[in-house]
Structure 1
Amino acid sequence: MDLPGTIARPVDHELVIKKSRFLAHLAPARSVAEADAVIARLRKELWDARHHCVAMVLGTRADQARSSDDGEPSGTAGVPMLEVLRHRGLTDLVAVVTRYFGGVKLGAGGLVRAYSGAVAAALDEAAATGVLLRRELLLETEVPVPHADAGRIDNLLRDWASTHGSVMEPPAYDAVAQLRLLVPKDQVETLVADVAAASAGTLVPVVGDARVVDVPVPASPARRP
């Protein structure tokens, strides 16, 4: 199941077009209240700006969206910004583009290009700096291991996870060590076989519930404008 991604932390980018400054700010937001708090903070910090245009996408499946032109001609800011977020397959974030007018009118087409371009450039920067996260549905998996073997199996599982799209979680220690990781469904059989091979068949992973997990996307070169 393909899920929309998100961002790990805020990103800022400035675009200057015909003396107008477009300050794009992207921030993670898991709810309308979180997004509104970001918008309110920027309005307060950048109180002297003419426009604070907004686009937000929320929900695990990106099923909530909202936009605002904030005084720009209808359809020239918020919706184009929103389309960029949707095209990039992102959710649980808010984009605010603050405009300082430079004295030269850009026209409707120019505004659409400026506002969408500011968001796109900020997302390119996010990709180039490793801020993007992809979301995957992974299975909670535990491997019960005697304490004497925990160090060796832990190292093996960490190496395995790094090459099989999986994520290690902190272990739990009780009568035995519970080594925990999150595993794609199509890799479970491989995990079971590899753990059996490493333990002469004495260890068996226990598969639990599925969970949506944010996984860092490796940094990539920024796109050309």
Structure 2
Amino acid sequence: MILFLIAAVPVFYLAMDSLISDLHGRIDDSYKPFAYGFICFVAALVIYNIIRLMFLTPVYTPSGIYIYYLLHDSLIPFALAVTGYLLVFGFTDFETGHHAVNRMFAFMCGFYCFWSINDLIINFGWYNNHLLLIIPIQRIGLIAAFSLLFSEALKRRGASRVLLYVLTGLLPFITAAGSMLWRLSYTIPMIGVTAGLPVLSGIFLYRKLRPVSEKPKVSLTSE
């Protein structure tokens, strides 16, 4: 299961990169967002571990467990990733949606790809199903959902754009709920929350990436 923790995000990156290449052709310099994500990961790792060591202490109540998982595993890494993305790319968009999705998922994969090494170090001797199985699935869900929602938000205007930004900001709260349900031994709801985000995001992301086939023209004249 340690292998799953280490390999889940890299395999997801390779699969998504291959999918976009198959659907739309190879994107030039598609590796650059991944490299930028990795650079931001190195900087964020220092900030994260300072915050973790100085401020994060688990409190064993339902609300305390939720807040701990929210900050420790979800919100702080996600906020650092999004901040890094905005510092590098801002709110710019490309002409076609699949370029924006490729840029976002590649950056986020580069950011999260090696976070598992940090997980293994800081949790040495305390490995469990949450760390080795649930967290990698949650990260895949975060990456897919962020790429879907944020790329769509860049194309919108007005209230719909704000709504998509709000939904993007709620993503770590959803993954933290899955962690809390695991800690409280609510297995079936935990599976639904944990698996639901990557599955639903993956379905809608594929629909977004899939080329729109031209409808056959209907002749109005009879032969």
Q: TM-score, normalised by structure 1?
A: 0.24
Query: Higher RCO, 1 or 2 (CA under 8 Å, sep at least 6)?
Result: 2
The structure richer in strand per residue is 1
Structure whose CA Rg is larger: 1
Q: TM-score, normalised by structure 2?
A: 0.24
